[in-house]
């Protein structure tokens, strides 16, 4: 490597004569020479950048960057099997051995830096050592004309994702299948390999119950001296990645991250959909980090409660609350199959309340705040009994607000009324705040601080239209209050200032939400990003 970096070709030739097995590795390093990530202070050479641009544009158009029926090193490419975020997989035949393989091409743009190339070879070699009846073996790795590849066992089978598009498996079949997959993942972990991208598309399926784990493109090797993923990198498929992966906390990624992914696959087997799948990549990632999946029995009442408990234990936000090992998950699935009590449990009342709050954050915040307001009013009534009667109407309004929030949330949780529920939720909040302005016994102006808070909160729905609905409603509410309550229009310019503040707040929040959605759409449209969706 030092000789190549110093362009000492005489030394390179001497080394290759002594160690001919290094020839392939030297060719690979030469092919990627000059390609490095921007963060490391280097850059793509003009020719390499042009090749990457052409390659990504071709992939965006759905074109094959290497045509089948042509030679590729010792292989003959026969047909395209699929494409993903890191490249394309072909069915190929080794010219001399006459053996069929699945050949995965790794685009140069995905292996820009020396560090990434080193990790690619290190992890592929580690995966090549794995021998398990339910893991696709890797038996060749190399580079042809700067195009990196590895050859895997060819399994003439479809993926679990394709199988699910044709109908669900039975609950017993799902449990048996996932127990087998968990066994295979446990074997990977015993060898020091973390997969990091387990999903239906990476589980090949022969029949209904004979799976193979494939695609080690994102695998991580835990061993001394291994190249670690830099902190902050988000690696995986949003709908199946663990919260620590989605948040970029790579120092917290462990074997239990794979157990989360197994739970996400089991969730889809039980319900027909992954735990989280929002309109965009960004929104899905945020839900993975902050949200709580809907209980499987809510989506499919036929799901057996023990399977639901097993699934939700895998999907815990806190890795320590998940199964300690993949083998422990497999054992619990087999307990279900044998009609034995499973180890998974729903947890205590506090834990269940916390999980409910993550599933319904808007409603939980509303009810919590309204409960606190009621508690303060009740406390004031105890300290000043003569004023207790003055707060009766306010208590009625707060109760009505809580009931209204529950009703709007119920509508927002249903696909047919989702938009109406969200819009009604936000507009009713403004209406109740305006009503409290009329009932306040103290200076009513202090309650107007709730208007900009409601506008800011509306941005959490990631819909600019909802932000503008809330902003418009808040301005109308403030105007009504100013016309009806003398204290709110003294001095005369006070209402104008309030409305300007509300308008500016709405503009700022809507602008930021629009930027997030634009960035999300940009990443969703990048070549290969479609592979991140099941």
Query: Is it the case that residue 174 has pLDDT exceeding 60?
Result: yes
Q: Out of 197, 215, 258, 429, which one is annotated catalytic?
A: 197
pLDDT greater at residue 474 or residue 381 = 474
pLDDT digits (tens, 9 = 90+) for 212-241: 998 765 556 654 344 344 444 556 678 898
Q: Are 133 and 211 in contact (CB under 8 A)?
A: no
Rounded Cα gap, residues 68 and 77, in angstroms: 5
**Which residue blocks in 61-170 are alpha helix, DSSP H?**
114-128, 160-165
Point out the least confidently predicted range of 147-156, 170-179, 393-402. 147-156
pLDDT digits (tens, 9 = 90+) for 80-118: 887 765 567 888 988 888 888 888 876 554 444 566 566
Query: Is it the case that residue 20 has pLDDT exceeding 60?
Result: no
Rounded Cα gap, residues 120 and 366, in angstroms: 49
DSSP state of 151: E
Rounded Cα gap, residues 437 and 43, in angstroms: 60
| Mean pLDDT across 198-203 | 90
Q: Which residues contact 248 (CB under 8 A, 6 or more apart)?
A: 231, 232, 233, 234
Q: Residue 382, exposed/middle/buried by CB under 10 A (0-12, 13-18, 19+)?
A: exposed
Q: Is 145 a catalytic residue?
A: no
The CATH code for residues 160-347 is: 1.10.510.10
Structure pTM?
A: 0.71
Query: Is it the case that residue 279 has pLDDT exceeding 70?
Result: yes
pLDDT digits (tens, 9 = 90+) for 389-401: 567 788 888 999 9
Rounded Cα gap, residues 311 and 296, in angstroms: 9
Average pLDDT, the chain: 78
Dig out the tokens for 352 from the structure: 């269940």
Q: pLDDT band for 5, please (50, 70, 90 cuts).
A: very low
Q: Are 511 and 481 in contact (CB under 8 A)?
A: no
pLDDT greater at residue 415 or residue 507 = 507
| Mean pLDDT across 155-178 | 89
Domain with CATH 1.10.510.10 in the chain: 160-347
Domain with CATH 3.30.200.20 in the chain: 32-153
Q: Which residues contact 159 (CB under 8 A, 6 or more apart)?
A: 200, 201, 202, 203, 204, 205
Q: Residue 354, exposed/middle/buried by CB under 10 A (0-12, 13-18, 19+)?
A: middle
Reduced to 3 states, what is the DSSP secondary structure of residue 75? strand
Does domain 32-153 match CATH 3.20.190.10?
Answer: no
pLDDT greater at residue 227 or residue 69 = 69
Q: Are 400 and 432 in contact (CB under 8 A)?
A: yes
Reduced to 3 states, what is the DSSP secondary structure of residue 332? helix
Query: Is it the case that residue 125 has pLDDT exceeding 90?
Result: no
The predicted structure's pLDDT at residue 108: 53
Q: pLDDT band for 40, please (50, 70, 90 cuts).
A: very low
Point out the least confidently predicted range of 9-18, 178-187, 281-290, 409-418. 9-18
The predicted structure's pLDDT at residue 269: 95
Residue in this structure with the two tokens 């087997």, named with its chain if needed: 269
DSSP state of 318: S
């Amino acid at each position: 490597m030092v000789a190549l970096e110093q362009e000492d070709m005489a030394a390179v030739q001497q080394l290759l004569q002594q160690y001919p097995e290094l020839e392939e590795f030297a060719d690979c390093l030469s092919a990627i020479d000059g390609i490095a990530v921007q963060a490391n202070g280097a850059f793509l050479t003009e020719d390499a950048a042009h090749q990457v641009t052409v390659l990504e544009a071709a992939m965006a158009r759905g074109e094959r960057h290497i045509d089948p029926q042509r030679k590729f090193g010792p292989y003959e490419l026969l047909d395209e099997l699929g494409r993903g975020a890191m490249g394309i997989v072909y069915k190929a035949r080794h010219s001399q051995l006459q053996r069929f393989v699945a050949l995965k091409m790794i685009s140069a743009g995905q292996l820009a830096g020396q560090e990434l190339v080193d990790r690619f070879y290190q992890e592929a070699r580690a995966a090549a050592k794995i021998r398990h009846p339910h893991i696709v073996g890797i038996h060749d790795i190399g580079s042809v004309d700067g195009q990196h590849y590895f050859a895997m066992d060819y399994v003439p089978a479809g993926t679990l994702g394709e199988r699910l598009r044709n109908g669900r498996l039975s609950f017993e079949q799902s449990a048996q299948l996932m127990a087998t997959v968990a066994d295979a993942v446990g074997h990977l972990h015993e060898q020091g390999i973390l997969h990091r991208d387990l999903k239906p598309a990476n589980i090949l399926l022969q029949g209904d119950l004979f799976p193979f784990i494939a695609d080690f493109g994102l695998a991580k090797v835990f061993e001394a001296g291994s190249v670690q993923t830099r902190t902050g990198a988000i690696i995986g498929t949003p709908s199946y990645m663990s919260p620590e992966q989605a948040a970029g906390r790579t120092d917290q990624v462990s074997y239990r991250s794979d157990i989360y992914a197994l739970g996400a696959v089991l969730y889809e087997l039980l319900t027909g959909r992954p735990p989280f799948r929002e309109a965009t990549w960004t929104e899905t990632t945020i839900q993975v980090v902050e949200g709580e999946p809907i209980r499987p029995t809510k989506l499919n009442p036929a799901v057996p409660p023990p399977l639901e408990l097993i699934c939700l234990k895998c999907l815990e936000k806190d890795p320590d609350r998940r199964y300690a090992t993949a083998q422990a998950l497999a054992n619990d699935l087999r307990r279900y199959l044998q009609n034995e009590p499973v180890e998974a449990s729903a947890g205590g009342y506090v834990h269940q309340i916390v999980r409910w709050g993550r599933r319904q954050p808007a409603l939980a915040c509303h009810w919590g705040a309204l409960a606190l307001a009621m508690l303060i009013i009740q406390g004031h009534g105890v300290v000043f009994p003569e004023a207790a009667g003055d707060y009766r109407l306010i208590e009625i309004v707060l109760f009505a607000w809580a009931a209204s929030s529950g009703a709007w949330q119920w509508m927002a949780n249903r696909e047919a009324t989702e938009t109406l529920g969200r819009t009604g939720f936000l507009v009713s909040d403004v209406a109740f705040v305006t009503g409290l302005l009329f009932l306040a016994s103290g200076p009513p102006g202090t309650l107007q601080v709730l208007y900009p808070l409601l506008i800011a909160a509306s941005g959490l729905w990631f819909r600019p239209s909802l932000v503008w609905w809330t902003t418009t409603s808040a301005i109308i509410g403030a105007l009504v209050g100013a016309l009806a309550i003398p204290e709110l229009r003294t001095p005369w310019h006070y209402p104008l200032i309030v409305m300007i503040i509300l308008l500016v707040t709405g503009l700022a929040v809507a602008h930021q939400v629009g930027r997030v959605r634009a960035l999300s759409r940009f990443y969703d449209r990048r070549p290969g990003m479609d592979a991140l969706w099941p």
